[in-house]
Structure 1
């Protein structure tokens, strides 16, 4: 039989089985109504507080919202904005705002786990509902709480608490392999249309948006891998725009109450509303410390109120659910064109930070046009290395087109190291002891030692202080593959042991005056499939603070520089031409000598400070460290090269 026919028959069989299983597992409309009735009947209406402010804690952070609104005029808005660089601060701000809420909390996210940080936030939300605050939680189905017992418990927890799941495949909260395979085969586009918007909004006056989801590795609490991420907290009148956007998603047809999903509903029909499982914290002492700090007025004032910027114009640029079509209402996807307009309007510099440096055709055309200007704006990019990324498949696309980025677009690229020495993180809190290096290795490939941070150490991989191993997490925000119901990929093994970090922040600074922090990865997936959001702040002082934060991530202690190799003595033109042809091939990308590679700064009396790759002294001050520094390559080199061979076809969905 023809192999192509066999492949088609196999796909059809998988699809038929998935659809058959889905049909068997689906509830009737009457059954869904009964399940919803069971959840509604179980919801407590007891409110623990009789005060008008719902017994909210006094909070100087919440007070920023009151100040901003009081100081605002219709034609002269006033906002207060805080950059949340450190994971611990991002968690504390959320906990404090939840406790200080008086009327309503709206939470929208892509990933919501059930580990220490996520469960702590979830319990705080439930406590807020019980004291009289209306709480609404909206989670994308692909990475929603993967526990039917918890979802069933939440659906019937309290009249003030509601949870919905966005775009559930086959009407389920938790998918198995056949569900994934069937979703890819029967409804590929819809399956890829995800709600990547992230927002925590309190009383329509103060909101947090940015890259962080609800999982330990976004708050520096994971023992293996943590994201270097960034959020922005905004207090003031633009919170009303955040509220309108959230409401549009809450009302969208794809936002389904958890109790009306097939698997959650079946759980309710079978067992009724269960009690919330008792939390089993991996490190309860850390949870207790975070909880105490979130209630400490002095801590909150020092970490958030003192560093807050008083700014005027703030804009919440966010996609609407209509981006996914067939949704009622006007408007669709303002985020991508508005962000592209900001980039296109740059006069001197675009400072761009993205975890996934993959450009759509439209973005490539934009940067080519910018390159033709006289003089062209400088484009400086902070992104992940292969050693740091949570998604090697996406990195392979960036690797494939580095020549284009450097030569045709004029980018200056800095790739984040997996063990940054000066990251905005409490190194000592990650682990009290530094990790031993892998046998026979050190930073240069030999010896042994420990990886030290400036204020402590990055700890051993795979365990907590007491030696427990942590479970595997979905570390990538990309869709699961056809072959797996888990994340499509995971970080590659390194030469050294340790708690590594990967860049996840999505930010821009335009001409040193306009700052952008949000969820948009500036890649084809964010433009086409995901709904995204960004906070745009036009304030020079705030933009400078954001630029300083990004440039810190690009410093030699934290990143490698990507630059052209030294030209070979002979056949340099032939080498370049063959590499360019190989890059353009849609199937094979086999030319082994690449146009560019990674460089490490080596300070010396002749090179006291870093220099640009265009500086004549560059190759005296920097040493080439290979295409994939720190990665325990082995067979992975071939793996990565095979992935790049199919890059052109994969770009839109990565």
Structure 2
């Protein structure tokens, strides 16, 4: 008994010693910086410039290759500044190419500010610190872990804050062009993997909304939770910058003949962008974003949250509502709201991931218990199939090998074919209450109809419709409305996967999902 007590005390002291000694550095030396004036002359800005005072122009980026090409082309066209803000920044082919282009822009005098959430940057910290040696590159990490060696132990002492992350995605060039949406920086978001791919959506924006996006970036960049990477990791020297520059240059040279780079070269998007052939949809819009204080506030404190303002601005649909959310946990309140719309005569459609398609089983465990009530209440519930994307890619003229599966990652919704929201926010407790998010609400019949057309004409090919087996119980069936197949349990899943989800659902963790 004494030995066990000693062991427990020793472990507690060890954990306290490891975590207690770790502190974030002083912020006294950190200098604020801000976006350039939106009136600064810019060649790419003038090419897509606005003759529409009070409005903003929008162009959807649906295809992953086009979404990546757009970013690279804009980096190449930047003359003054590039501001980049992302949740995930994977060490993969697309990220390396993206970083190489950023560094090349910095070499020609463009100021680059790279703001990343710290959760997934442990493996990249040395490289990021080396990049920050460049006089035109600044890298900051948001909500960093004080203990850089034993990061996970930070959850023990400060779980309430460190479990809440910056989920924003923002890409701004010369304060004239802005991209936001569901995509992080990594292969699966840009159709660069044969074995998996996210179905995602961004919007490229010009006009009045861009300075607003820059204000949002500056707010996070200068926030008390944003730290220069070199302050966290320690200063790197000029040699480290030389080495990372050489590594990036060699990688780009070695990948010139790769399948993916060939797809990038074949994309016609660059010429369309540079030749002013992109048809922007000029409309009124509103940018929404959480204040970064959200991650420090008590969960019940909503003053920093964007969702109340967003839902108020969207109002209630009168005829039709389409909701696309890869991670969908409506809770009782959301379920009652959606079914109340149906009772008022609104056609409500929800698309989310199936168990076979999702990359987060825990979220599916939180979502599954609301399905029966949603369907019984008249909501048209669809779940994405893990579709074989090889045939789809080949049909689009791409060269692929192996097998490939899809997972939904787009976050969008439209009401009455009149207004559409595109952003980073899922309809789950984590997005609404814990992480920071952003997105744009556009008063656009064109973009709303684009989503509605896909749901009406294309979605049945890529998703199963969820229905009740009988009106008297909660048993579900999944219908393939194209082949008329019916499944009595979650399609294309093993009994072990279904057991895992059931087991997770036993734990009271919904508010963390």
Common fold: TM-score over 0.5: yes
Q: Distance in 2 between matches of 1:14 and 1:225?
A: 42
Q: Distance in 1 between matches of 2:215 and 2:12?
A: 38
Corresponding residue number in structure 2 for 1:72? 52
Corresponding residue number in structure 2 for 1:197? 168
Corresponding residue number in structure 2 for 1:407? 376
Secondary structure in structure 1 of the residue aligned to 2:480: strand
RMSD, aligned α-carbons: 3.4
Secondary structure in structure 1 of the residue aligned to 2:509: helix
Are the structure 2 counterparts of residues 87 and 257 from structure 1 closer, same or farther at C-alpha, using a change threshold of 3 Å? same
Corresponding residue number in structure 2 for 1:162? 138
Asked if 1 retains the 8 angstrom alpha-carbon contact of 2:70 and 2:269, the reply is no
Corresponding residue number in structure 2 for 1:554? 459
Are the structure 2 counterparts of residues 145 and 298 from structure 1 closer, same or farther at C-alpha, using a change threshold of 3 Å? farther
Deviation at 1:236, TM superposition (A): 0.6
Corresponding residue number in structure 2 for 1:275? 243
Q: Deviations over 1:578-602 (max 9, x none)?
A: xxxxxxxxxxxxxxxx521211125
Are the structure 2 counterparts of residues 419 and 272 from structure 1 closer, same or farther at C-alpha, using a change threshold of 3 Å? closer
Match of 1:643 among 504, 507, 511: 504
Q: Does 1:91 align with 2:68?
A: yes
Q: Does 1:511 align with 2:372?
A: no
Q: Does 1:259 align with 2:230?
A: yes
Q: Does 1:21 align with 2:18?
A: yes
TM-score, normalised via structure 2 length: 0.86
Are the structure 2 counterparts of residues 154 and 625 from structure 1 closer, same or farther at C-alpha, using a change threshold of 3 Å? same
Corresponding residue number in structure 2 for 1:389? 358
Asked if 2 retains the 8 angstrom alpha-carbon contact of 1:354 and 1:506, the reply is yes
Q: Deviations over 1:15-73 (max 9, x none)?
A: 6544423456668769x98xx9xxxxxxxxxxxxxxx98xx8x65xx54542x1xx133
Match of 2:488 among 605, 626, 635: 626
Q: Distance in 2 between matches of 1:352 and 1:626?
A: 25
Deviation at 1:380, TM superposition (A): 0.2
Asked if 1 retains the 8 angstrom alpha-carbon contact of 2:89 and 2:95, the reply is yes
Corresponding residue number in structure 2 for 1:324? 295
Are the structure 2 counterparts of residues 641 and 286 from structure 1 closer, same or farther at C-alpha, using a change threshold of 3 Å? same
Asked if 2 retains the 8 angstrom alpha-carbon contact of 1:420 and 1:558, the reply is no
1:457-472 pair list within 5 angstroms? 459-460=401-402
Q: Does 1:298 align with 2:271?
A: yes
Secondary structure in structure 2 of the residue aligned to 1:82: strand
Q: Distance in 1 between matches of 2:307 and 2:11?
A: 36
Secondary structure in structure 2 of the residue aligned to 1:598: strand
Are the structure 2 counterparts of residues 274 and 190 from structure 1 closer, same or farther at C-alpha, using a change threshold of 3 Å? farther
Are the structure 2 counterparts of residues 524 and 290 from structure 1 closer, same or farther at C-alpha, using a change threshold of 3 Å? same
Deviation at 1:326, TM superposition (A): 6.7
Q: Deviations over 1:300-331 (max 9, x none)?
A: 469xx54533322021111111222379xxx9
Corresponding residue number in structure 1 for 2:320? 349
**How many residues matched?**
495
Q: Distance in 2 between matches of 1:459 and 1:293?
A: 18
Asked if 1 retains the 8 angstrom alpha-carbon contact of 2:194 and 2:400, the reply is no
Corresponding residue number in structure 1 for 2:207? 236
Q: Distance in 1 between matches of 2:79 and 2:399?
A: 40
Q: Distance in 2 between matches of 1:86 and 1:209?
A: 14
TM-score, normalised via structure 1 length: 0.69
Secondary structure in structure 1 of the residue aligned to 2:447: helix
Q: Does 1:370 align with 2:341?
A: yes
User: Which segment drifts farther, 307-316 or 224-233?
Assistant: 307-316
Are the structure 2 counterparts of residues 341 and 627 from structure 1 closer, same or farther at C-alpha, using a change threshold of 3 Å? farther
Unaligned 5+ runs, structure 2: 31-39
Unaligned 5+ runs, structure 1: 37-51, 429-452, 461-497, 568-572, 577-593, 604-621
Are the structure 2 counterparts of residues 378 and 195 from structure 1 closer, same or farther at C-alpha, using a change threshold of 3 Å? same
Asked if 2 retains the 8 angstrom alpha-carbon contact of 1:421 and 1:454, the reply is no
Corresponding residue number in structure 1 for 2:103? 126
Deviation at 1:635, TM superposition (A): 2.2
Deviation at 1:650, TM superposition (A): 1.4
Are the structure 2 counterparts of residues 273 and 205 from structure 1 closer, same or farther at C-alpha, using a change threshold of 3 Å? closer
Asked if 2 retains the 8 angstrom alpha-carbon contact of 1:208 and 1:233, the reply is yes
1:84-233 pair list within 5 angstroms? 84-144=61-121, 146-156=123-133, 158-170=134-146, 172=148, 176=150, 179-180=151-152, 182-233=153-204
Q: Distance in 2 between matches of 1:131 and 1:332?
A: 42
Q: Distance in 2 between matches of 1:349 and 1:399?
A: 24
Asked if 1 retains the 8 angstrom alpha-carbon contact of 2:66 and 2:267, the reply is no
Q: Deviations over 1:317-346 (max 9, x none)?
A: 11111222379xxx9435211332255421
Are the structure 2 counterparts of residues 384 and 90 from structure 1 closer, same or farther at C-alpha, using a change threshold of 3 Å? same
Secondary structure in structure 1 of the residue aligned to 2:373: helix
Asked if 2 retains the 8 angstrom alpha-carbon contact of 1:92 and 1:294, the reply is yes
Q: Deviations over 1:272-303 (max 9, x none)?
A: 7662161447954246436646898535469x
Deviation at 1:134, TM superposition (A): 1.2
Q: Distance in 1 between matches of 2:22 and 2:335?
A: 45
Find the structure with the greater CA-based Rg: 1
Are the structure 2 counterparts of residues 28 and 83 from structure 1 closer, same or farther at C-alpha, using a change threshold of 3 Å? closer
Secondary structure in structure 1 of the residue aligned to 2:236: helix
Q: Does 1:418 align with 2:386?
A: yes
